[in-house]
């Protein structure tokens, strides 16, 4: 089936699923058997376009329909997110630039919570479009610097705020912070702020990080085009996993924090399909082998 046929099938099916009365139209009058659902003329009426214009779309003969028009069609025909994605793909050959629901990237299904917690071999987590942690496992919680006698805990629910504003992150946890972490992170933040206007968490991050004396100059001057860290490897400190009798690893960061070891973390990222904009990460840690010098 080609894209035109698939588009026609999708739109005709959705028209037949809708009751004219339910979308604010008058019930059919007069005698005779009537087809179920909406007619092309009724859809065109709801879109405030001519019947010819809508029919052109449904036949797949509209060259490069505007995204705003496709979104209006999705709204009128009450398309679900996956159906809206299909509308874009069949009409334009690519997925929509933004999710239909502005909150789609701010939550995840409950099944993801259980799945993430059940990963035991590697730290993993899910964050929303503003880097708020939505789910994580125990290995991720144990990853952060803490006092030797303190319980493991995430120091900050918002990971971007932690990575760019927390002194422990900048001075102890994220090695080579300025070159390996701050530059790509601030570029990611600039992209997210532009992509999700009106997100209050991102607006707050934008203000606070721009005003910070350490991260602010990097953020304001950053011209790097960078969207996500999938596959990136960066240097960091990780909880010490040596023999119990070996209390202090050779490269422990300081006396204030529990033992840790220097190494490289590789970030493997994916998107939960029901939450566009959210990100699922598995972190793969490799202890240092002398490949790169530490540059704090």
Average pLDDT, the chain: 85
Taking each helix axis from N to C end, the angle separating 67-76 and 81-92, rounded to the nearest 10 degrees, works out to 140
- pTM over the 0.85 mark: no
d(CA 2, CA 32): 35
What are 126's strand-pairing partners? 135, 280
Tens digit of pLDDT for each residue in 96-149?
877 666 656 667 778 888 999 999 889 999 999 899 999 999 999 999 998 888
Give the list of residues 6+ apart from residue 192 with CB closer than 8 angstroms, or none: 129, 130, 199, 202
Counting Cα atoms < 13 Å in the Cβ hemisphere of 143 gives 23
- pLDDT digit string (tens) for 167-217? 999 999 999 999 999 999 999 999 888 878 888 999 999 999 999 999 999
Pairing of strands 124-127, 279-287: antiparallel
* Domains detected in the chain: 3-92 (1.10.260.40), 104-287 (3.30.450)
How far apart, in whole angstroms, are the C-alpha atoms of residue 77 and residue 217? 47
Distance (Å) of CA 114 to CA 9, 93, 198: 37, 35, 30
Does 49 score more than 60 pLDDT? Answer: yes
- Count CB neighbours of 18 within 10 A: 19
Output the pLDDT for position 249: 56
């Amino acid at each position: 089936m080609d894209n035109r046929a698939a588009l026609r099938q999708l739109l005709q099916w959705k028209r037949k699923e809708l009751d004219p009365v339910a979308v604010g139209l008058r019930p059919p009058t007069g005698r005779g058997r009537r087809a179920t659902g909406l007619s092309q003329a009724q859809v065109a009426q709801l879109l405030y376009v001519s019947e010819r214009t809508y029919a052109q779309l449904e036949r797949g003969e509209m060259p490069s329909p505007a995204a705003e028009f496709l979104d209006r069609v999705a709204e009128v025909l009450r398309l679900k997110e996956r159906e809206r994605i299909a509308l874009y793909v069949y009409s334009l050959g690519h997925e929509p630039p933004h999710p239909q629901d502005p909150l789609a990237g701010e939550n995840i299904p409950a099944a993801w919570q259980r799945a993430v917690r059940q990963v035991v071999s590697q730290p993993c987590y899910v964050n929303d479009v503003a880097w708020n942690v939505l789910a994580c496992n125990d290995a991720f919680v144990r990853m952060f610097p803490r006092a030797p006698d303190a319980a493991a805990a995430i120091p900050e629910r918002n990971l971007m705020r932690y990575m760019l504003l927390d002194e422990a992150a900048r001075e102890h946890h994220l090695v080579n912070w300025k070159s390996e972490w701050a530059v790509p992170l601030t570029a990611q933040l600039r992209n997210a702020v532009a992509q999700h206007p009106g997100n209050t968490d991102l607006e707050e991050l934008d203000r606070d990080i721009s005003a910070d004396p350490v991260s602010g100059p990097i953020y304001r001057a950053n011209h790097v085009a960078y969207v996500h860290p999938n596959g990136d490897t960066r240097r960091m400190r990780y909880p010490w996993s040596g023999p119990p009798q070996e209390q202090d690893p050779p490269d422990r960061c300081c006396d204030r924090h529990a033992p840790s070891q220097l190494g490289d973390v590789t970030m493997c990222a994916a998107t939960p399909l029901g939450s566009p904009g959210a990100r699922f990460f598995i972190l793969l840690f490799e202890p240092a082998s002398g490949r790169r010098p530490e540059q704090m």
